[in-house]
Chains A and B, each alone.
Chain A
Amino acid sequence: MAKKLAGKMKLQIPAGKANPSPPVGPALGQRGINIMEFCKAFNAKTQEMEPGAPCPTEITYYQDKSFTMDIKTPPASYYLKKAAGLKPVGKRNRPRGAVLPGRETIATVTTKQVREIAEAKMRDLSATDVEQAMKIILGSAKSMGIEVKG
């Protein structure tokens, strides 16, 4: 069937927990996209993931209100903060990184944890192997003030 593109949007949605509250409800609702069908499909696709992990999701929607979604793995910062045991703070209940990254070390993670994160994010990274992916994760860790030891 011909797919006539109408627009694209990128939303960060918790795995397995899409519901009609913001941003999903207004973002899709203002474009006339079937919110409940979207939530059903998103939750089914993310049911194997850790519940609540934030998934950047690109939604492409078409002129007849049908849609497709490309669900990415959670950001490296999410995995790193979790591995480092940083406590969630603030209104959004998320762990905070360093205020002065590069000059301040707020936590540490192990090389093994970096490898696990690299493996989890492999499909979304522009890396040909896990070692290369680990370098990308190490860069993220450094920029957040998280040191890698062991």
Chain B
Amino acid sequence: MPTTYTAYTKLGSQEAAEALGEAMESLDPEPTGVGVFEIEDGSGTWEVGGYFLAPPDDIELTLLARAFDASDFVVSKVPDTDWVDKVRRELTPVVAGRFFVYGSHDADKIPDDSEPLLIEAAMAFGTGHHGTTQGCLEALDRLASGGFEGRNVADIGCGTAVLAMGAARIWPGAVVASDIDAVAVEVAQANVDANGLDGRVTCLEATGFDHPDLAARAPFDLVFANILKQPLIDLAPAMAAHLAPGGYAILSGLLTRQVDEVVEAYDAAGIALLRRDTIGDWATLTLQKRGI
């Protein structure tokens, strides 16, 4: 592999980092790639890096760093690494309750007593490698362990359809998975096929519950919505309208500090909090519609 180089610097805001990233593109020698990354330590620091096929010009880099009030660039040779292998080792299977979420490279590691879900980390959210997805799978596992059987389940904002497929793995009933993003719906359908769940999970493109198929299938006895705080709040009245009395909602995508606001909106809509779980900064809520 030819020797390649990286030049990295740090600075204090996303805006400045993006501007510096753009400016790096006109360096000579020009970078083959420029990345702008948030450093995930809560400090608000951003990293800007360029990839070069020839050693970058130190003077140009110094001037650029000064102009953008960034720290001095650190230039290094890119280590000769098998990046594909490195990523595969990092994308390890995720265990959430009885569910085993894995990429195809870990197909030989499925435990006998698990419910396997094959998900490649690709172009839809919901790979299992996030506290929100794990939290929802664990909540599903708990409901099932408690004796509940979902006969009519919806996954609103399904991403990879990991939650819908989890429900279809353990219950014989119908599951519908919808997403606002057409790419996610394509990925969801591909995942459903790859997991042998074709015909069990229906994937469709919809904003919230706004689809004739969702209206026709309601009321649901379990609805997942792993989205974000505000869309969850906006969804509360529609959730109440589409849930059967006594039906469950498993919600995630919200930070622990956002829980009260979401719980309040759902309580006002007649859906009461049963349980709250936290993984890292992320909360998962299990709720039940009143009126059994």
Contact = CB atoms under 8 A, between A and B. Distances in A.
Interface of A: 1-12, 20-38, 41, 62-69, 91-92
Given A2-B132, A65-B129, A34 B38 contact: no
B263 interface: no
B127 A20 contact: no
Interface residues of B, number: 53
Contacts, number: 152
Contacts of A24: 33
Interface string B117-136: 00011111111111011000
A20 to B, nearest CB: 5
A23 to B, nearest CB: 3
B33 A66 contact: no
Contact of B78 (A3, A12, A20, A22): A22
Contact of B81 (A26, A63, A64, A91): A26
Contacts of B90: 32
B37 interface: yes
Interface string B30-66: 0111111110100000000001011000000000000
B36 A68 contact: no
B87 A34 contact: yes
Given A6-B38, A10-B21, A27-B51, 7 more contacts: A2-B125, A7-B36, A8-B18, A8-B35, A26-B78, A29-B84, A37-B120
A2 B126 CA distance: 8
B130 A64 contact: yes
Contact of A37 (B31, B83, B121, B129): B121
B91 A65 contact: yes
Contact of B37 (A9, A12, A29, A92): A9
